[in-house]
Amino acid sequence: MPPVTNADLLHAATEAVRSGPDTSDGAGAVVARVVRDGEVLLDAAWGLADRRHGLPMTPGHRFATASGCKGFTALAVLSLVADGTLTLDTTARSLLGDDLPLVPDDVTVEHLLAHRSGIGEYLDDDADLAEYLMPVPVHRLVSPEDYLPLLDGHASVFPAGERFAYSNAGFVLLSLLAQRASGVPFHHLVRERVLDPAGTTRTGYPRSDALPGDAAVGYVRVDGRWLTNVHHLPVVGGGDGGAYTTTQDMERFWGALLGGRVVPDDVVAAMRAPRSTDDDDSSYGLGLWLPGGDAVQLVGEDAGVSFLSRHDPATATTWTVAGTTAEAAWPVVRAVRTALA
DSSP 154-184: ---SS-TTSS----HHHHHHHHHHHHHHHSS
Cα separation, 286 vs 284, in Å, equals: 7
How do the pLDDT tens digits run along the chain, 341 residues long?
467 788 999 999 999 999 999 998 888 999 999 999 999 999 999 999 999 999 999 999 999 999 999 999 999 999 999 999 999 999 999 999 999 999 999 999 999 999 999 999 998 777 787 787 788 999 999 999 999 999 999 999 999 999 999 999 999 999 999 999 999 999 999 999 999 999 999 999 999 999 999 999 999 999 999 999 999 999 999 999 999 999 999 999 999 999 999 999 999 999 999 999 876 778 999 999 999 999 999 999 999 999 999 999 999 999 999 999 999 999 999 999 999 98
Q: What is residue 130's predicted lDDT score, i.e. its pLDDT?
A: 78
The structural domains of the chain, with segments of one domain joined by +, span 6-340
Cα separation, 45 vs 42, in Å, equals: 10
Residue 147 CB neighbours (<10 A): 24
Identity of the amino acid at 203: T
Q: How far is CA 229 from CA 59, 132, 136, 235, 259, in A?
A: 21, 9, 16, 10, 36
Q: What is residue 38's predicted lDDT score, i.e. its pLDDT?
A: 95
Greatest C-alpha distance within the chain: 61
Query: Residues 249, 202: contact at Cβ < 8 Å?
Result: yes
DSSP 65-107: -GGGGHHHHHHHHHHHHHTTS--TT-BSHHHHTTS-TTS-TT-
Q: What is residue 312's predicted lDDT score, i.e. its pLDDT?
A: 97
Buried b (16+ CB within 10 A) or exposed e, 303-319: bbbbbbbbbbeeeebbb
Q: What is residue 1's predicted lDDT score, i.e. its pLDDT?
A: 46
Cα separation, 304 vs 107, in Å, equals: 32
Q: What is the pTM of this model?
A: 0.96
Q: What is residue 135's predicted lDDT score, i.e. its pLDDT?
A: 85
Q: What is residue 3's predicted lDDT score, i.e. its pLDDT?
A: 75
CATH classification of 6-340 is 3.60.15.30, yes or no? no
Cα separation, 7 vs 16, in Å, equals: 14
Which of 124, 333, 324 shows the shortest CA–CA distance to 226? 324
